[in-house]
């Protein structure tokens, strides 16, 4: 009898253990999404019966992916574990807190109205203000909170979740910490919401990739570096160009993890080139939001160390418009970056409204003349004059000048004769995936297998139509890449 009783107790214990595991998240010990959904449904039913209200909060951590990518998963786990006590303390005993997945948490506040929910959101944000210290490393974390209240913002669980989600993105967009669901959020159509959530998943599931486009030095006649250009390999849509998701990422805060991922990936690639004897500089595009990232310098510094790369191998490209948006803030950041040895490049030069005085005040190494002037400079005297003036200006200020979007031989010759330092464009190569980029370099080396050299003879010769030389497989891939580029520009011109 005693044996049987023990068996039963043991089985019950095992069963409840299994039940607990199925309903709770192992890392934080918090209820999971399934349990949270059940609570939400129950709350809706009982609130409907009693005409009470309740609030739903979506809590999404800021800078979590950066911490994971910069310091590793152990640090990310430590941050998530710390969320349980911190968020719990900011809530009432009767409130339900859950981890929905990744760095997403949710809370259900029975009986709460809008003002109660706002106070709770403020307490949560306050509880995250103190940085987390893990193994001697100080980790800054924040959150964006979206609030939807029953019945004002929705009368069923699906609607409430959707409204709270949208409010959370709105909060991310304005860096406001929290936002109450509002009719102003109508721009978040179901299509956009789907795209946002797919992009989130895409970032987590490694669907982003970088293509590399050579930057060609017209003085040494060598490829001196490459620009990393992002693409999203969408499970159904295939390769998506940056113009179709970078603006969305900028509006939803997703640009921050994207920026960190791009920097990390590009630096690792650069390290691999150097190991293979290719002395190339890597240029990474940073959005304004990346630049204003709380600890950009620390993050870049940590990445340079972890990828064993030197600061001088890295160029950050920042658009003129981004620089002008908050010139005072940006100035300090650029000075700090420049001081550690990273090169600074102004992208799309000529399309913004920068005062020339900024060129003097900011620690800039390079200007990239926008494609729109380079494109027509052979045919248009005005464009030619602009390009020439920027080259002269750059030279007089001691800056390197890059012409973007060089597509033909005639433009290249003009640029070289005017003393332009570097050229980039389809004439040399479209942006290519890493292995094809290496192939391209090898085809352009001639007699030096480890050091790319496109000699003058090559430039004078039949042009650099790489696709012609490299067999049909690569040629077709290049066409595929070409299609994306065009998709992007069609989009931009629209």
Does 348 contact Ca ion by CB under 5 A? yes
Residue found by looking up tokens 């981004």 in the block: 322
Residue from 285, 290, 429, 444 touching Ca ion (CB under 5 A): that is 285
Which 9-28 residues touch ligand C2E, going by CB under 6 A? none
Q: Which residues contact 408 (CB under 8 A, 6 or more apart)?
A: 378, 427
Binding ligand C2E (rule: CB under 6 A), the pick from 76, 154, 202, 431 is 431
Residue nearer to Ca ion on the CB measure, 109 or 412: 412
In this chain, which of 47, 52, 243, 359 binds ligand C2E, going by CB under 6 A?
243
Binding-site size for Ca ion (CB under 5 A) equals 5
Q: Residue 271 Cβ, how far from ligand C2E at the closest point, in Å?
A: 18
Cβ neighbours of 185 (radius 10 Å): 17
Site for Ca ion in 367-406 (CB under 5 A): 404
Under the binding rule (CB under 5 A), the answer on residue 347 touching Ca ion is yes
DSSP letters, 101-142, are ETTEEEEEEET--HHHHHHHHHHHHHHHHSPEEETTEEE--E
Residues 343-372, mask of contacts with ligand C2E (x by CB under 6 A): ----xx----------------------x-
CA 108 – CA 161 distance, rounded (Å): 11
Given a contact cutoff of 8 angstroms between Cβ atoms, the answer to whether 302 and 75 are in contact is no
Query: Which is nearer to ligand C2E, 165 or 289 (by Cβ)?
Result: 289
Nearer to ligand C2E, 109 or 260 (CB): 260
Among 28, 70, 285, 411, binds ligand C2E (CB under 6 A): 285
Measured from the CB atom, the residue of 97 and 240 that comes closer to ligand C2E is 240
Q: Is 426 in the site for ligand C2E (CB under 6 A)?
A: yes
Instruction: Provide the 3-class DSSP secondary structure of residue 234.
Output: strand
Please tell me whether residue 320 binds Ca ion under the rule CB under 5 A: no
Which of 31, 146, 241, 253 lies at the binding interface for ligand C2E (CB under 6 A)?
A: 241
Nearest residue to ligand C2E, scored by beta-carbon proximity: 425
Per-position b or e across 65-99, b if 16+ CB within 10 A of its CB: bbbbbbbeeebbebbbebbbebbeebbeeebbbbb
For ligand C2E, which is the closer residue by CB, 212 or 273? 212
Name which of 67 and 316 has its Cβ closer to ligand C2E.
Answer: 316
Residue from 407, 433, 451, 470 touching ligand C2E (CB under 6 A): that is 407
The residue among 85 and 247 lying less far from ligand C2E, judged by its C-beta, is 247
Q: Does residue 262 belong to the site contacting ligand C2E (CB under 6 A)? A: yes
The tokens describing 492, both together, are 């931009």
Asked if residues 87 and 97 have their Cβ atoms less than 8 Å apart, the reply is yes
421 binds, among ligand C2E, Ca ion, none (CB under 5 to 8 A by kind): none
Q: Are 234 and 202 in contact (CB under 8 A)?
A: yes
How far apart are alpha carbons 117 and 112 in whole angstroms?
6
Tell me the closest approach of the beta carbon of residue 373 to ligand C2E, in angstroms: 13
Residue number with CB closer to ligand C2E (75 or 489):
489
List the one residue from 317, 320, 383, 436 that touches Ca ion (CB under 5 A): 317
Among residues 160, 150, 237, 228, which one has the least CA distance to residue 199? 237
Single out the residue of 322, 314, 309 nearest to residue 338, CA to CA. 314
Stretch that binds ligand C2E, among 111-119, 391-399, 402-410, 463-471 (CB under 6 A): 402-410
Q: Would you say 224 or 262 has its CB closer to ligand C2E?
A: 262
Residue with tokens 């650099």: 464
Count of residues in contact with ligand C2E, rule CB under 6 A: 24
Could you give the string, one character per residue 195-224, with x where binding to ligand C2E holds by CB under 6 A and - elsewhere? ------------------x-----------
Give burial (CB, 10 Å; 0-12/13-18/19+) of 243: middle
Query: What is the per-residue binding string for ligand C2E in 302-321, x denoting contact by CB under 6 A?
Result: ---------------x----
Pairing of strands 96-101, 104-110: antiparallel
Confirm or reject binding of residue 66 to Ca ion (CB under 5 A).
no
Which segments of 189-261 are extended strands (E)?
208-217, 222-234, 238-240
End-to-end Cα separation, the chain, in angstroms: 81
The residues near 184 (Cβ < 8 Å, ≥ 6 apart) are: 170
Tokens of 301: 């510094």
| Interface pick for ligand C2E out of 146, 242, 253, 394 (rule CB under 6 A) | 242
Tell the residue number behind the tokens 């924040």, with chain if given: 142
Q: Which residue has the tokens 């721009």?
A: 187
Could you list the residues that contact ligand C2E (CB under 6 A)?
213, 229-230, 241-243, 246, 262, 285, 287, 317, 347-348, 371, 405-407, 424-426, 431, 485, 488-489
Could you list the residues that contact Ca ion (CB under 5 A)?
285, 317, 347-348, 404
């Amino acid at each position: 009898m005693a044996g049987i009783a023990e068996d039963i107790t043991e089985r019950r214990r095992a069963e409840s253990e299994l039940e607990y595991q199925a309903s709770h998240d192992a890392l934080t010990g918090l209820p999971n999404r399934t349990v949270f959904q059940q609570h939400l449904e129950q709350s809706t039913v009982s609130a409907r019966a009693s005409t009470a209200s309740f609030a739903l909060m979506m809590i999404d951590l800021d800078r979590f992916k950066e911490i994971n990518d910069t310091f590793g998963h152990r640090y990310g786990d430590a941050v998530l574990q710390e969320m349980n006590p911190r968020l719990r303390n900011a809530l009432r005993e009767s409130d339900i807190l859950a981890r929905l997945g990744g760095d997403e948490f949710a809370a259900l506040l029975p009986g709460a109205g809008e003002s109660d929910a706002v106070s709770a959101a403020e307490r949560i944000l306050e509880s995250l203000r103190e940085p987390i210290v893990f193994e001697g490393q100080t980790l800054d974390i924040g959150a964006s909170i979206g609030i939807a209240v029953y019945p004002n913002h929705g009368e069923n669980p699906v609607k409430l979740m959707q409204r709270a989600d949208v409010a959370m993105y709105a909060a991310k967009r304005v860096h406001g910490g929290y936002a109450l669901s509002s009719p102003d959020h109508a721009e978040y159509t179901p299509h956009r919401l789907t795209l946002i959530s797919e992009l989130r998943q895409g970032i987590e599931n490694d669907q982003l990739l970088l293509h590399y486009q050579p930057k060609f030095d017209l003085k040494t006649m060598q490829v001196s570096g490459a620009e990393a250009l992002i693409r999203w390999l969408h499970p159904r849509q295939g390769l998506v160009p940056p113009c179709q998701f970078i603006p969305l990422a900028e509006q939803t805060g997703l640009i921050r993890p994207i920026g960190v991922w791009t920097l990390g990936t590009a630096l690792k690639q650069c390290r691999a080139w150097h190991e293979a004897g290719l002395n190339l500089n890597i240029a990474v595009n940073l959005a304004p939001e990346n630049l204003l990232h709380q600890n950009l310098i620390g993050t870049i510094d940590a990445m340079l160390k972890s990828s064993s790369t030197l600061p001088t191998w890295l160029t950050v490209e920042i658009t003129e418009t981004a620089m002008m948006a908050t010139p005072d803030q940006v100035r300090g950041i650029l000075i700090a970056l420049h001081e550690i040895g990273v090169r600074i490049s102004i992208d799309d030069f000529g399309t913004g409204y920068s005062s020339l005085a900024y060129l003097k005040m900011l620690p800039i190494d390079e200007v990239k003349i926008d494609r729109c002037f380079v494109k027509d400079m052979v045919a248009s005297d005005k464009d030619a004059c602009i390009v020439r003036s920027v080259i002269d200006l750059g030279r007089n200020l001691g800056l390197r000048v890059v012409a973007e979007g060089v597509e033909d031989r005639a433009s290249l010759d003009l640029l070289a004769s005017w003393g332009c330092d570097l050229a980039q464009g389809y004439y040399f190569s479209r942006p290519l995936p890493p292995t094809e980029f290496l192939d391209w370099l090898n085809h352009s080396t001639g007699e030096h297998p480890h050091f790319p050299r496109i000699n003058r003879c090559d430039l004078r010769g039949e042009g650099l139509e790489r696709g012609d030389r490299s067999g049909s497989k690569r040629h077709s891939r290049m066409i595929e890449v070409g299609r994306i580029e065009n998709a992007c520009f069609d989009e931009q011109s629209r």
